[in-house]
C-alpha cells in the first residue's frame, strides 16, 4: 500500500530555520501578522487534508481515469474527486493565498507554495483542478477590469467555479504565433470566438457548476505572429447579472486524451463555435497577460516535480526498510531475519539519497521562490520589490525545469528500489513516474525553460540579474568561508560559482556571433545553473545544521549527511554538463537534416 | 502513426564493415559457409517480418493487454498475437540459431542477436514469448540429458511449444537462496513440485499447445541458501512417449499482473500443486544451470534496450521532420512554411543525437558480443574460445545495464521531442518509455549487473579479464594513434582508458579493506566502463567512416557526425561518474537507517 505523510519537519526547517520567513514577512504589511504558529497550523491542516482526503484517491483515480460522454459532451471525474473538491471548498483551501477583497484569506504565497507541494505529492491529477483555477484567478486579478474581478474572482477563490488556460491548438504548442482561433467583436463589448484547442487540462469536469476558460485568440485586425494574440474570458455558462449561472456558452469538450499518466485530470479537446467571450487586458496583449498565469503555473509545475519527488522517495524508503533480500556486503545486519532489509545495501542508499537530496534541495529553492513572490508583491520599498521580482524571473525557469527533471529521475530511482515490485501497479511507484513524466513537458517544455533562462533572463540584460544572484552567493561564501567546518561546502560552491561566471561570459560571446549557440548551450546551461543554486541552498542548509547539531536532534545529522551526499554524488554532474556545453553548436548542427 | 523500419544499413555496417564478421565466421567450422549474402538476406527478411507483422500489433497489444480467465486459469494474448506466432513458426524464425541436430538452422548467434534487436523494436511484449522459449532451449541444450534434449528441443525450436524461466517468488527476487518451492522425489525418476512463483513472463498464454517451465526448487535435503537450489522441467502438459501432449500437469496460472508496460506479455503468478517435474543437471546445481539461460537472457534484455532505443529514435526523427513550430534561431529555414520543422532547433537535435549515438554504439557492442558467443562456441582453438568466453562474461553486465539505461533515457529524450504529443497514446512515444522501464529491472536489476561486473568479473580475477580487454583498446590506440584525423577520437579514448585503469586499482584497494566499497562504487563504475567500451567502438566506427567517406555515401558523414557528438556530448558523463564514485561508501553509509 502506498504511503504519504506531509514532510512537516523539513517544511518547517526550510521556512523557519533556513529562510527565517516570519522575520521577512514581518516587513511586508499584508503579512506582518503571520506568525510561526499560524504557518505551522496551516501546514499541518493541509498535510492532514492531503494525506487523508486526496492521497487515498490517487491510485484509484489513476486506474479509473476520467470518462467522456460524447452525447452530453461531459466529463466525469474519478470516484471521490467531487467529494474531495467539496471538502476542499468547505475548508476554504481555494482561497488561502487569495486577495481578502475577493474573499481570500490573504496568506503569503510562501504558504501556498508549500500547500501546492503537498497536494501534488498526494494526488497530482486532482491538484491540477485547483491549480488551474488559481492560475485563472491570478491572471484576472492582474489584468481583469474591476467588473470582471468582482464577478469572477470570488467564485474562483471559493471553489464554486473552476478555471483553465486555453492556449494550445493542434498546429501550435510552443509557437503560439500560429494560433488560428478567431474572435470577432459583436459591438456590445463582447466577442464571438471560434476555434479548436487541445490539451486543455481540466477543460471539462463535474467538480464545479461553472468553468472559466481563459482563451487565446486573434482579433480580425491582428498582426501576424505572437504580437497579435488577445486574451478572452470564455465561461462555460454565461454569468447572470447576479453572478449566478446562466445560459450555456458555445464552448464544448469534444473528447479527452488517453495519456501516459495524470489519468484523473481531464485533458480536453475544446471546440468553440461562436462562443461568447470578453477581452482581458488590451487587444493583442494577450500573451503578456497570459504570462502572469504561465509564470505562476511554471512555479506550480516545479512544485509538482517536488511533490512527486517527495512521495516517490517516501514510498521507496518504506519499501527499503521492510523488504528483506540478501545480506549486507560486510556481513548480516539482521541475523535473526532470513535476509537483511535492502536499506543496508549501498546502491539502494544511493538511489534513496538521490531522491532525498533532490527533494530537500528543491523544497529550499521552491519555498525561497514563493517568498520572493510575497516580497515582490508587498514590500514597502520599491527597490526591494524590484529585486525580488528580478530574482523570481531569473529563478522561475530553473524551478520549473530543474525540479521536474530531478522529480522524474528521482521517481525513476525510487521505482528502481522496488525491483520488479515497482513495475506493477500495486505499489504506486510506477504511477509516480508516469505522472512525473508530464512535468518536464507542459507549461513550456524544459527546452523552452532553458532558452528562457539563457536567452531572456541571463543574456538579454547582459547578466545583470545573474550578477545580483551571484552577489548573494558571494556574500554567503565570504561570510562563512573562514569556518573550517563549512569548508567542504563552501569550496565547491565558490569553485562552481567562478566557473559558472566564466561559462556565462563564454556563452555570451559565442551567442553574439551566432544565436544558434544559445540553443546549443541552453539545456546544459540550465542544469549547471540548477546545481549552482542547489549548492548555494545546500551549503546554507548545512550551515544551519552544523550550528544546531549539538541539540541532539537527529534531523540535523541527517541534513548534514544528505548535504554531503549532494556535494559528493550529485554536484559532479555540473562538470560533465560544462564540458558537453563547450562543444557548442558544431556538435549538433554538423549533421545534415536528411542524414538523421 | 508510429513508424518502424529495420535499420539494415547500419546493421550491415556493424556486421560487415566494423566487425568483418564473415572473415571471423570463416574460422568457425559450423559457420564457415555463412556468407554476406546469406546474412543480409536473413536480416532483410527478418526486418520485413518485424515491420509488417509484429510492429502493427505493438500499439494495439499495449491497449488490449492480456486477459486472464480465473475459471479456466487461462490467459488470452492480444488480438493478432497468435496469428503472428503462427507466421513466425511457419517461417522457421524460432530455429534460426538452433542446433541442426534438433531441427535448428544453425546460423550464428550474431545473426540471432540482430534479429532480437529488430523484434524488440517492433514489439517487445510479443518478442518476449520467443525470447523465453529460446532461453529454455539454450538451458536444456547445455544441461539436459540426451532424452530430455530429444524430447524438448525440437518442439522449442519449431515453436510448437514455448518456454519460461520460473525463479522469482514473493519473498525472493534477487536473493534466490530464499526460495521456498519444494521438490520431492517420487522414486521413479520424477519429482512432485509444490510452491508459488511470481513475475513469470509468458507463464501462461494461448500461443502454443504446450509450455515448458524451467523451475527452481529445493530438494528435501537441500543445503541452506543458493547452494541448495535445483532446476526442474515442469511442462504444462506432460509429454507422451511419442512427444505429443498428454495429461495436464499441476502447474497453473493464478493471475496476471497489471503492469506499467509490456502489456501484451503475460506476467503470471504460477502455482504448483504436486506438479510433476524432472531434474535438469545435478541436484543443488540448479543456479549454475539456470545461469546459462540467464546470461543469454541478459544479453537479450540488452537487445531489448537497444531495440526500444532504435524505434523511439526513428519515431522522434519522423516527428521532428514534419512538426512545424517556431523559426530557427538564426532565421527561417523554411520561409515558405508557417514555421520551421523542429529538427532545425539545436536542442531537438541534442535529444535526437543522444538517442542515435546510444543506439548505434549499442548496436556495435551488442553485435560484437553476439559474435563472441559464436567464437566461444565454435572456434577450433581452445585458447581463442576461452578468450571469447571471458570477454563475453566481462561484457554481459555492461550490455545488459548500459544498453538498458541508455535505452530508457533515449526513449525519454525521444518522447520529449514530441512535446505534449508524446504524452498521449496516439504517437507511440510514451509506450516505448513504459516498455523500456522494465529492462533496467528484470533479469537482475542494473544494480545487480553492476555488482556482477565490479565484484565478480573485474575484482575476482584481479583484473585479468579487464586487462585482456584493455589490451585490445591499447592495440587500437597504438595502431591508429599517429593518424591525425583520428586524434579527436584516440586522445579521449586513451585518456579514459588510463583513468579507468587507475580507477579500477583504487577501487580494488578499497574493496580489499571493506567489501561495502564495492557496492558503493558499482553503479558509477559500470557507467564509466560502458563509456570506455562505447568510446572504443565509436573510435573504431569513426576509423571506418573516415576511410570510406570519400565514397560520397552520406552514411559515413552521418556516422562521423554522430561519433563526434558522442565524444563531445555524452562521454563527459564518465568524468562526473568517476568523481562521484571516488566519494566512496562514506557518502552513502553515514546516514543512519532510521534517519531516512
Q: What's the pLDDT tens digit per position in A263-292?
A: 999 999 999 999 999 999 999 999 988 887
What's the average model confidence in pLDDT over A138-159?
97
Average pLDDT of every residue of chain B: 97
Task: List all residues 6 or more positions away from A6 whose beta carbon is below 8 Å from its beta carbon.
Answer: A43, A44, A46, A47, A48, A50, A51, A118, A121
**Coil, strand or helix: which one is B463?**
coil
From CA B594, how far away is CA A553, in angstroms rounded?
13
**A347 closest CA partner among B465, B305, B522, B456:** B522
Q: What is the secondary structure of A428-444 as a DSSP string?
A: SHHHHHHHHHGGGTSSS
Q: Can you list the pairs that B483-491 forms with residues at least 24 positions away whose Cβ atoms lie under 8 Å?
A: B485/B546, B486/B539, B486/B542, B486/B543, B486/B546, B488/B564, B488/B567, B489/B535, B489/B538, B489/B539, B489/B542, B489/B543, B489/B563, B489/B567, B490/B539
Please give the grid coordinates belonging to residue B571.
562521454
Please give the grid coordinates belonging to residue A233.
474570458
Q: Do residue B112 and residue B236 come from a single domain?
A: no
Contact A588 B339 (CB under 8 A): no
**A340 — pLDDT class (breaks 50, 70, 90):** very high
Tell me which chain B residues have a C-beta less than 8 angstroms from the C-beta of A178.
324-325, 338-339
Contact A562 B591 (CB under 8 A): yes
Residue of A nearest to B257 (CA): A424
Contact (CB, 8 A) for A398 and A453: yes
Give A408 to chain B, closest Cα distance, Å: 10
Give B383 to chain A, closest Cα distance, Å: 34
**A257 closest CA partner among B427, B424, B59:** B424
pLDDT of residue A291: 83
Residue of B nearest to A449 (CA): B347
Residue of A nearest to B408 (CA): A412
Domain stop point among B235, B264, B285: B285
List the CATH number of the domain containing B19: 1.10.540.10
Contact A349 B564 (CB under 8 A): no
Contact (CB, 8 A) for A588 and A520: yes
From CA A255, how far away is CA A258, in angstroms rounded?
10
Q: Is the pLDDT of residue A295 over 90?
A: no
* CB-closest option in A352, A516, A570 to B346: A516
- pLDDT, tens digit, for every residue of A483-507? 999 999 999 999 999 999 999 999 9
Give the C-alpha distances (Å, rounded to integers) separating B85 from B53, B130, B163, B208, B267.
10, 9, 14, 9, 18
Q: Do residue B135 and residue B208 come from a single domain?
A: no
In a domain, B35, yes or no: yes
Q: Can you list the pairs that A549-556 forms with residues at least 24 positions away whose Cβ atoms lie under 8 Å?
A: A554/B592, A554/B594, A554/B595, A555/A9, A555/A13
Q: Do residue B577 and residue B544 come from a single domain?
A: yes
Contact A451 B347 (CB under 8 A): yes
**Coil, strand or helix: which one is A499?**
helix
Q: Do residue B171 and residue B211 come from a single domain?
A: yes
**B67 closest CA partner among B212, B196, B204, B170:** B204
pLDDT of residue A486: 98
Q: Do residue B106 and residue B191 come from a single domain?
A: no
Contact A437 B445 (CB under 8 A): no
> Buried b / exposed e across A85-101, counting CB within 10 Å, b at 16+?
beebbeeebbbbbbbee
Q: Do residue B120 and residue B176 come from a single domain?
A: no
In a domain, A35, yes or no: yes
In a domain, A476, yes or no: yes
pLDDT of residue B581: 98
* CB-closest option in B168, B558, B574 to A591: B558
Please give the grid coordinates belonging to residue A67.
470518462
* CB-closest option in A178, A317, A516 to B596: A317
Contact A580 B595 (CB under 8 A): no
> Buried b / exposed e across A210-222, counting CB within 10 Å, b at 16+?
bbbbbbbbbbeeb
B553: left (phi over 0), alpha (psi -120 to 50) or beta: beta
What's the average model confidence in pLDDT over B261-267?
98
Q: Is the pLDDT of residue B364 over 80?
A: yes
From CA B116, how far away is CA B114, in angstroms rounded?
5
Q: Do residue B187 and residue B93 come from a single domain?
A: no
User: Catalytic: B443?
Assistant: yes
Q: Do residue B132 and residue B181 come from a single domain?
A: no
pLDDT of residue A225: 87
pLDDT of residue A39: 97
Q: Do residue A513 and residue A543 come from a single domain?
A: yes
Task: List all residues 6 or more positions away from A418 whose beta carbon is below 8 Å from its beta carbon.
Answer: A316, A319, A427, A429
* CB-closest option in B175, B349, B430 to A591: B349
Residue of A nearest to B343 (CA): A593
Please report, rounded to a whole number, the percentage of residues in chain A having pLDDT higher than 70.
100
Contact B420 A440 (CB under 8 A): no
What's the average model confidence in pLDDT over B125-144?
96
**B388 — pLDDT class (breaks 50, 70, 90):** very high
Which of these is catalytic: B413, B430, B443, B517? B443
From CA A311, how far away is CA B220, in angstroms rounded?
44
- pLDDT, tens digit, for every residue of A524-554? 999 999 999 999 999 999 999 999 999 999 9
In a domain, A574, yes or no: yes
Which of these is catalytic: A209, A443, A484, A573? A443
Give B320 to chain A, closest Cα distance, Å: 10
In a domain, B556, yes or no: yes
- Cβ-Cβ pairs closer than 8 A, A with B, add up to 270
Contact (CB, 8 A) for B208 and B85: yes
Q: Do residue B24 and residue B95 come from a single domain?
A: yes
Please report, rounded to a whole number, the percentage of residues in chain B having pLDDT higher than 90.
97
Contact (CB, 8 A) for B415 and B407: no
Tell me which chain A residues have a C-beta less than 8 angstroms from the C-beta of B317.
596
Contact (CB, 8 A) for A505 and B330: no
From CA B323, how far away is CA B343, in angstroms rounded?
8
Contact B425 A258 (CB under 8 A): yes
Contact (CB, 8 A) for B148 and B221: no
**A243 — pLDDT class (breaks 50, 70, 90):** confident
Q: Is the pLDDT of residue A320 over 80?
A: yes
- pLDDT, tens digit, for every residue of A458-479? 999 999 999 999 999 999 999 9
Contact B330 A514 (CB under 8 A): yes
pLDDT of residue B226: 86
Give B352 to chain A, closest Cα distance, Å: 8
Domain that holds residue B519: 463-589
Please give the grid coordinates belonging to residue B428.
507511440
Residue of A nearest to B424 (CA): A259
Q: Do residue A463 and residue A540 come from a single domain?
A: yes
3-state helix, strand, coil in chain A (%, to 5): 65, 15, 25
Domain stop point among A262, A290, A318: A290
Check residue A286 and report its DSSP letter.
H
In a domain, B580, yes or no: yes
* CB-closest option in A260, A591, A594 to B430: A260
Q: Is the pLDDT of residue A27 over 80?
A: yes
Which residues are paired to A268 by β-bridges?
A: A200, A256
From CA A334, how far away is CA A332, in angstroms rounded?
6
* CB-closest option in A267, A329, A569 to B518: A329
From CA B314, how far away is CA B473, in angstroms rounded?
31
Contact (CB, 8 A) for A165 and A138: no
Which H or E run contains B270?
strand B267-280
In a domain, A410, yes or no: no
Q: Is the pLDDT of residue B295 over 90?
A: no
Give B335 to chain A, closest Cα distance, Å: 14
Give A595 to chain B, closest Cα distance, Å: 6
**A30 — pLDDT class (breaks 50, 70, 90):** very high
Domain stop point among A259, A290, A321: A290
CA angle, A151 then A152 then A156, to 5°: 145
Q: Do residue B119 and residue B211 come from a single domain?
A: no
Query: What is the number of other CB atoms lying within 10 angstroms of the CB of residue A186?
Result: 12
Tell me which chain A residues have a C-beta less than 8 angstroms from the C-beta of B171.
324, 338
**A161 closest CA partner among A89, A128, A210:** A210
In a domain, B102, yes or no: yes
Contact A175 B325 (CB under 8 A): yes
List the CATH number of the domain containing A197: 2.40.110.20
Instruction: Work out how many domains chain B is built from and give that number.
Output: 3
The residue among B68, B503, B561, B596 with the most chain A CBs within 10 A of its CB, best to mutate, is B596
pLDDT of residue A512: 93
Q: Is the pLDDT of residue B292 over 80?
A: no
Task: List all residues 6 or more positions away from B241 whose beta carbon is below 8 Å from its beta carbon.
Answer: none
ipTM summary value:
0.97
Contact B422 A441 (CB under 8 A): yes
What's the average model confidence in pLDDT over A80-90?
98
Amino acid at each position: 500500500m502506498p504511503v504519504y505523510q506531509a514532510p512537516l519537519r523539513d517544511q518547517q526547517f526550510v521556512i523557519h530555520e533556513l529562510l527565517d520567513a516570519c522575520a521577512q514577512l514581518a516587513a511586508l504589511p499584508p503579512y506582518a501578522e503571520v506568525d510561526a504558529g499560524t504557518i505551522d497550523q496551516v501546514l499541518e491542516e493541509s498535510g492532514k487534508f492531503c494525506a487523508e482526503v486526496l492521497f487515498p484517491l490517487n491510485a484509484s483515480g489513476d486506474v479509473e481515469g476520467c470518462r467522456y460522454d460524447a452525447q452530453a459532451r461531459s466529463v466525469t471525474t474519478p470516484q471521490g474527486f467531487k467529494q474531495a473538491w467539496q471538502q476542499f471548498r468547505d475548508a476554504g483551501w481555494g482561497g488561502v493565498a487569495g486577495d481578502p477583497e475577493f474573499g481570500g484569506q490573504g496568506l503569503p504565497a510562501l504558504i501556498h507554495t508549500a500547500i501546492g507541494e503537498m497536494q501534488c505529492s498526494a494526488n497530482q491529477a486532482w491538484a491540477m483542478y485547483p491549480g488551474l483555477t488559481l492560475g485563472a484567478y491570478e491572471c484576472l486579478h492582474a489584468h481583469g477590469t474591476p467588473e470582471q474581478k468582482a464577478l469572477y474572482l470570488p467564485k474562483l477563490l471559493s471553489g464554486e467555479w473552476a478555471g483553465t488556460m486555453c492556449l494550445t491548438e493542434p498546429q501550435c504548442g510552443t509557437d503560439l504565433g500560429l494560433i488560428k482561433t478567431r474572435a470577432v467583436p459583436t459591438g456590445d463589448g463582447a466577442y464571438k470566438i471560434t476555434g479548436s484547442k487541445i490539451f486543455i487540462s481540466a477543460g471539462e469536469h463535474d467538480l464545479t457548476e461553472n468553468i472559466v476558460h481563459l482563451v487565446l485568440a486573434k482579433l480580425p485586425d491582428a498582426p501576424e505572429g505572437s504580437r497579435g494574440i488577445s486574451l478572452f474570458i470564455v465561461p462555460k455558462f454565461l454569468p447572470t447579472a447576479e453572478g449566478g449561472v446562466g445560459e450555456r456558452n458555445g464552448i464544448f469538450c469534444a473528447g479527452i486524451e488517453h495519456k501516459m499518466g495524470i489519468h484523473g485530470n481531464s485533458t480536453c479537446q475544446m471546440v468553440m463555435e461562436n462562443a461568447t467571450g470578453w477581452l482581458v487586458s488590451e487587444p493583442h496583449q494577450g500573451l503578456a497577460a497570459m504570462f502572469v498565469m504561465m509564470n505562476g503555473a511554471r512555479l506550480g509545475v516545479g512544485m509538482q516535480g517536488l511533490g512527486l519527488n517527495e512521495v516517490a522517495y517516501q514510498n521507496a524508503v518504506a519499501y527499503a526498510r521492510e523488504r528483506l533480500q540478501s545480506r549486507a556486503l560486510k556481513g548480516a545486519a539482521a541475523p535473526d531475519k532470513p535476509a537483511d532489509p535492502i536499506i543496508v545495501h549501498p546502491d539502494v542508499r544511493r538511489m534513496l539519497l538521490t531522491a532525498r537530496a533532490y527533494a530537500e534541495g528543491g523544497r529550499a529553492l521552491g519555498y525561497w521562490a514563493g517568498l520572493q513572490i510575497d516580497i515582490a508583491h508587498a514590500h514597502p520599498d520599491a527597490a526591494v520589490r524590484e529585486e525580488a521580482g528580478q530574482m523570481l524571473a531569473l529563478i522561475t525557469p530553473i524551478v520549473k525545469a530543474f525540479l521536474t527533471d530531478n522529480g522524474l529521475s528521482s521517481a525513476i530511482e525510487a521505482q528502481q528500489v522496488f525491483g520488479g515490485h515497482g513495475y506493477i501497479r500495486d505499489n504506486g511507484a510506477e504511477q509516480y513516474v508516469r505522472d512525473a513524466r508530464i512535468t518536464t513537458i507542459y507549461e513550456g517544455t524544459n527546452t523552452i525553460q532553458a532558452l528562457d533562462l539563457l536567452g531572456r533572463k541571463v543574456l538579454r540584460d547582459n547578466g545583470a540579474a545573474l550578477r545580483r544572484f551571484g552577489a548573494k552567493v558571494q556574500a554567503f561564501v565570504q561570510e562563512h568561508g573562514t569556518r573550517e567546518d563549512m569548508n567542504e561546502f563552501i569550496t565547491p560552491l565558490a569553485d562552481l560559482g567562478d566557473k559558472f561566471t566564466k561559462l556565462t561570459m563564454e556563452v555570451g560571446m559565442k551567442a553574439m556571433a551566432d544565436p544558434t549557440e544559445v540553443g546549443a548551450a541552453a539545456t546544459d546551461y540550465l542544469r549547471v545553473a540548477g546545481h549552482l543554486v542547489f549548492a548555494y541552498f545546500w551549503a546554507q542548509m548545512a550551515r544551519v545544521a552544523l550550528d544546531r547539531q549539538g541539540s541532539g536532534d537527529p534531523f540535523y545529522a541527517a541534513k548534514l549527511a544528505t548535504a554531503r551526499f549532494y556535494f559528493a554524488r550529485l554536484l559532479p554532474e555540473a562538470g560533465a554538463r560544462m564540458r558537453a556545453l563547450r562543444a557548442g553548436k558544431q556538435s549538433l548542427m554538423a549533421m545534415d537534416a536528411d542524414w538523421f
